[in-house]
Amino acid sequence: MTVVTYRQAITRGIADALAADDDVFLFGEDVARAGGAFKTTDGIWERFGDERVLDTPISEQAIVGTAIGAAIRGLRPLAEVMFADFAAVCFDGIVNELAKYRYMTGGQVTCPVTIHMANGAGTGFAAQHSQPAENWFLNTPGLKIVVPGTAADAYGLMRAAVADDDPVLYFEHKGLFGRREELPDDAPIVPLGVAETVRAGEHCTVVATQLMRHRAVEAAELLEREGISVEVIDPRTLVPFDHDTVRASVERTNRLVVAQEGSAGGSWGGTLITALLQEGFELLDAPPLLVCSEETPVAYAAALEAAWLPSVERIADGIRRTVAY
Amino acid sequence: MTAKTAGGQAAAATPPDRDAQLEMLRAMHEIRFFEDACHRLFATGAVRGTTHLCQGQEAVAVGACHALRREDQMTCTYRGHGAVLAKGAPLDRSFGEILGKAPGLCGGKGGSMHLTDVEAGALGSFAIVGGHLPVSVGVGFAARYRGTDEVSICFFGDGSTNIGAFHESLNLAAVWRLPVLFVIENNLYGEYSPLSSTTPIEVLADRAASYGMPGIRIDGNDVLEVHATISEAAARARAGEGPTLIEAMTYRQKGHSRADPAKYRPEGELEAWLKRDPIVLHERALAEAGVPQERLDEIRAAAEQAVEEALERAQSWPDPDPETRLEHVYA
């Protein structure tokens, strides 16, 4: 058992993926010699060399397209798009080519592409480098979306993503890079589509990912002192989504709060609530609640950005109101 | 008409023998009859949505694909029927796809704009202008990574040279010296707009200079010139000398899509290009080389019959089971 940062867990996941399969190669802007803009590929080039670890020009369309072309010819590309916001630059490649290629060709090709990107707010990068971009892709069938919130999940989901035969968008949260956790030397692969019940509870189910997962746990600890017992579930992957675990929890707690970084429109939290209302309306003793960001871009100043992100206190308030309903 | 705008040592290409030249004539006839049939089928409503035909441009696809090996890999545009057939896709299953039939190449999921036959090395037809250029770079990368000497050939229109993906793709292919042949089918129109109204230079091959790769403009209606140029570029690519940009001058005899009558064309332009029809030019060259007219007529008739029979088969095929719509979203 070693204590590692979330960042180091990503690096180990990438290294082990490269070591496990010669068809895996890593490429992107500054991923080789520089070790990545966020140092998530530190030491990888030194270990695996020029042929398998390649720096690219600042060309996100070429990066995504190259991944697709290599994948349909039998390789397992692991591409880095530095900030998830830059996925907008190669949106066509991701949604029109990568996601649909297998379908359009009647299953003639598979696209085992992983694109990993740094996601999320809270670190002062302002509007074009802080968006929780995972929601952009929810309405595009053909993509899988993973959102690790811990070192173990960062490692295990990286391994699962690269080994998966479908395109996987892997979002790592910038606000968690320095978070330290224990990671066993033989850390397991985390299967896609399996949620983790982070904390058991009786009165309310809270579903949250990445930064919000940790804030939800803090809120639950706060509320425990008030006699409110909160169950926290981290879905870990948004596509596929583990609806069964959430439903089984709500069957016991009869209350649902989703804590989400990012605004409500077209979001995974909104989608989860819709699904539960349609299929489990009778389970609920209170209206489901989405605690999320306001409908604005992410601002720069600490005071502005902090107010945009759901805080521990806002999440706790939402749970209190839901339980008291 | 060949004009190299940048360096690059061309390997000597073996010209195709008489049989291979006749085979190219047959292939061009088949594409022409295929496209004419698609035109008729669209008018009757049997082809849904839209379709983009390539009558007049056959020599580019045929000259290029016949200069390559089956294991070489090709990507093309939504005006891609000719390229996919030239790479070796069967006529009947190609019709079947355009008609939305279950045995169609893609089981009816792709249609006219997404004809794909991976077995033939026709990796896909893409309907986002320029969207496949980056894919062709990855195909070239995989060939090198896996240690094969396959080349990746990418067909696209003159209009694609104005979209950002063109720049990113040629730049990356050049900086990594990948075995990719970028072939511009310059048919003078980007959709409805003449090239001169959208592009400040006349010779698109000149754009190769920005990427330090050879840029070559050729007569795209001369199937043998296309064949020779692609052979040389492919030899360079296989030898690890990197990508080439080839601008094949040709002409779209029909409109952009569907029933576009192409009224925006200047008077006399179509007529002038019809005199330079690639099939007419190739037949004339073969006749001058001593092939009897009866032999040329036989080839034409056989192609027409093959297309008609393939269409009849495809029309007899069943529609896809609606349940299959749920397949192939994920592996």
- The reported pLDDT for the residue numbered B258 is 75
Region of poorest pLDDT, from B4-18, B230-244, B281-295, B314-328: B4-18
Domains A2-183 and A196-324 are alike in CATH topology? yes
Please answer yes or no on whether B141 and A69 come within 8 Å at the CB atom. Answer: yes
B197-234: pLDDT as tens digits = 999 999 999 999 999 999 999 999 999 999 999 999 99
CA gap B48, B45 in Å, rounded: 6
Whether residue B1 has pLDDT greater than 70: no
Q: Where are the beta strands (DSSP E) in chain A?
A: 2-5, 24-28, 53-55, 76-83, 114-119, 144-146, 168-173, 180-183, 196-199, 204-208, 230-234, 237-239, 256-259, 289-291
What integer is the mean pLDDT of B75-87? 97
- When the pLDDT of each residue in chain B is averaged and rounded to a whole number, the result is 94
Q: Which of residues 117-176 of A touch B (CB under 8 A)?
A: 141-142, 144, 165-166
Band of pLDDT at residue B315, cut at 50, 70 and 90: very high
Instruction: From residue B201, give the alpha-carbon distance in Å to each of B12, B196, B208.
Output: 31, 8, 13
Phi, psi (5° rounding) for residue A144?
-110, 150
pLDDT of the residue at B10: 44
All domains of chain B in start order, with CATH: 27-310 (3.40.50.970)
pLDDT beyond 50 at B46: yes
State residue B13's pLDDT score.
Answer: 64
Q: pLDDT over 90 for what percent of chain B?
A: 88
pLDDT, tens digit, 9 for 90 and up, residues A262-302: 999 999 999 999 999 999 999 999 999 999 999 999 999 99
The SS3 call for residue A139 is: coil
A3 burial type by CB count under 10 A (0-12 exposed, 13-18 middle, 19+ buried): exposed
B329 vs A: CB within 8 A:
yes
pLDDT at A55 over 70: yes
B257 pLDDT exceeds 90?
no
Rounded-to-integer distance, Cα A250 and Cα B140, Å: 51
Taking the C-alpha atoms of residue A81 and residue A117, their distance in angstroms, rounded to an integer, is 5
Contact status, residue B62 vs residue B225, Cβ threshold 8 Å: no
B152 touches chain A (CB under 8 A): yes
Domain positions in chain A are 2-183, 196-324
With 70 as the cut, is the pLDDT of residue B2 above it? no
* Cβ of residue B301 closer than 8 Å to a chain A Cβ: no
Instruction: Please report the pLDDT score of residue A94 as a whole number.
Output: 98
CB contacts, 8 Å: A69 with chain B:
75, 134-142, 152
pLDDT of residue B12: 53
Contact A105 B327 (CB under 8 A): no
- Dihedral angle of Cα B83, B88, B93, B99, to the nearest 10 degrees: 10
Please tell me the number of Cα atoms within 13 Å of B227 on its side-chain side.
22
What's the burial of A280, exposed, middle or buried (CB within 10 Å: 0-12/13-18/19+)? middle
Q: Which two tokens stand for residue B261?
A: 């009558």
Provide the token pair at B179. Answer: 């075995």
Mean pLDDT, chain A, integer: 97
Q: Name the pLDDT band for B259 (thresholds 50, 70, 90).
A: confident
A61 vs B106, B110, B165: nearest CB: B165
Bridging pattern class, strands A168-173 and B122-126: unpaired
pLDDT at B48 over 70: yes
Looking at residue B261, what is its pLDDT? 83
Q: What is the pLDDT of residue A1?
A: 75
Of the listed ranges A175-179, A214-218, B255-259, the one predicted with least confidence: B255-259
Three-class DSSP category at A293: coil
pLDDT exceeds cutoff 80 at B17: yes
Least confident of B2-6, B161-165, B204-208: B2-6
CATH fold for the domain made of A196-324: Rossmann fold (3.40.50)
Interface probe for B, chosen from A60, A72, A78, A143 (most Cβ of B below 10 Å), is A72
Give per-residue pLDDT as tens, A93-145. 999 999 999 999 999 999 999 999 999 999 999 999 999 999 999 999 999 99
Instruction: Please state, in angstroms and as integers, the Cα–Cα distance from residue B97 to each residue in A142, A235, B46, following that order.
Output: 21, 40, 11
Percent of chain A with pLDDT over 90: 100
**B83: region left, alpha or beta (phi > 0 left; psi from -120 to 50 alpha):** alpha
C-alpha span between A102 and B129 (Å, rounded)? 19
- Read off the pLDDT of each residue in B283-296 and give the average, rounded to a whole number: 97
Cβ within 8 Å, pair A109-B118: yes
Residue A240, preceding peptide bond in cis (omega within 30° of 0): yes
Tell me phi and psi for residue B323, to 5 degrees.
Answer: -65, -25
Averaged over B34-42, what is the pLDDT?
Answer: 95
- Taking a C-beta distance cutoff of 8 angstroms, is the pair B248, B186 a contact? yes
Overall average pLDDT of the B46-74 stretch: 95
Residues A2-183, CATH architecture? 3-Layer(aba) Sandwich (3.40)
Tell me the longest C-alpha to C-alpha distance in chain B. 56
pLDDT band for position B5 (50/70/90)?
very low
- Please tell me the number of Cα atoms within 13 Å of B194 on its side-chain side: 9
Active site (catalytic) residues of A: 60, 129
B120: closest CA of chain A, how far (Å):
11
Distance from CA of B185 to the nearest CA of A (A): 21
| CA separation for the pair A306, B325 (Å, rounded) | 45
- Contact of B114 with B105, CB cutoff 8 Å: no
Can you tell me the distance from the alpha carbon of B291 to that of B228, in angstroms, rounded to the nearest whole number?
21
Per-residue pLDDT, A72: 98
Burial of B267 (0-12, 13-18, 19+ CB in 10 A): exposed
